[in-house]
Amino acid sequence: MAGHSKWATTKHKKAAIDAKRGKLFAKLIKNVEVAARTGGGDVEGNPTLYDAIQKAKKNSVPNENIDRAVKRGSGAEAGGAEYQTIMYEGYAPGGVGLLVECLTDNRNRAAAEVRTGLTRSGGTLAEPGAVSYMFTRKGVVVVPKTDGLTEDDVLMAVLEAGAEEVKDEGETFEVISEATDLVEVRTALQAAGHDYDSAEASFIPSVEVPVDADGARKVFRIIETLEDSDDVQNVWSNVDVPDEVWAKLDEED
């Protein structure tokens, strides 16, 4: 996962740019609506909805937008769309594997946009199963480093909740668990008084592909292109960007 978290941090900073914020808001609201439709509008009984709302709030989505999304999803208010989740697989230049998760009300449009986004940036669409076998679905909770919080503090809080490991990712800690233990891990952190940035099921690569600076630029370009699609919710890759390559890229910024 080397490079995954640093890229996630880079994306988080870019999300603060106003040009991207409207698009980010729309995707977060869609997540809330789908969670409410799937598990009901009661936050207490729907942990997926709870996490979707928390993520939206932490990204400054207005409360009224979140409330309307919950009402649409739960059927309390008209206007909700029938979204479906579709996973596409592909390759970025250099053989880097990509998993592209779409949340869409138009399967044909989503497929066309993913295919176009890949091919225009030098990537290719892959057959189902060609890439996914290199990834494992895990629960990932991102915890900011605040108030002298240490890796041991985080580990002590989540050890009995099913956490598998805690990773130091520079500005944050990542708590990895089975996807089914995600809610327990997040709840344990809250009980210990530790704030968190996000808690969601993610795909962790078991096989990574190292790249040089040029390769990293190509991978990031293709991810950005894909994420510009309103239908694309998440893009995961197995790119491995060595520290010296990150240093070079940082110098360019």
In this predicted model, what pLDDT tens digit does every residue of 149-176 receive, in sequence order? 999 999 999 999 999 999 988 889 999 9
Q: Which of 75-84, 128-137, 163-172 has the highest mean pLDDT?
A: 128-137
Model confidence at 48: pLDDT above 70: yes
- Burial of 13 (C-beta count, 10 Å sphere; 0-12/13-18/19+): exposed
Pairing of strands 209-210, 135-144: unpaired
User: Which percentage of the chain shows pLDDT scores above 70?
Assistant: 90
Beta bridge partners of 136: 204
Average the pLDDT over 125-152 and give the result.
93
Residue 22 has pLDDT above 80, yes or no: no
For residue 87, name the pLDDT band (cuts at 50, 70, 90): very high
Tally of residues, the chain: 253
Q: Is residue 4 pLDDT above 60, yes or no?
A: no
Q: pTM here?
A: 0.84
| For residue 41, pLDDT beyond 50 | yes
| Residues whose CB is less than 8 angstroms from the CB of residue 181 and which lie 6 or more positions away in sequence, other chains included | 139, 161, 162, 163
Structure tokens at 10: 């880079």
Residue 9 three-state SS: helix
* C-beta of residue 161 within 8 angstroms of C-beta of residue 185: yes
Question: How many C-beta neighbours within 10 Å does residue 88 have?
Answer: 23
Q: DSSP letter string over 173-221? A: EEEEEEGGGHHHHHHHHHHTT---SEEEEEEEESS-EE--HHHHHHHHH
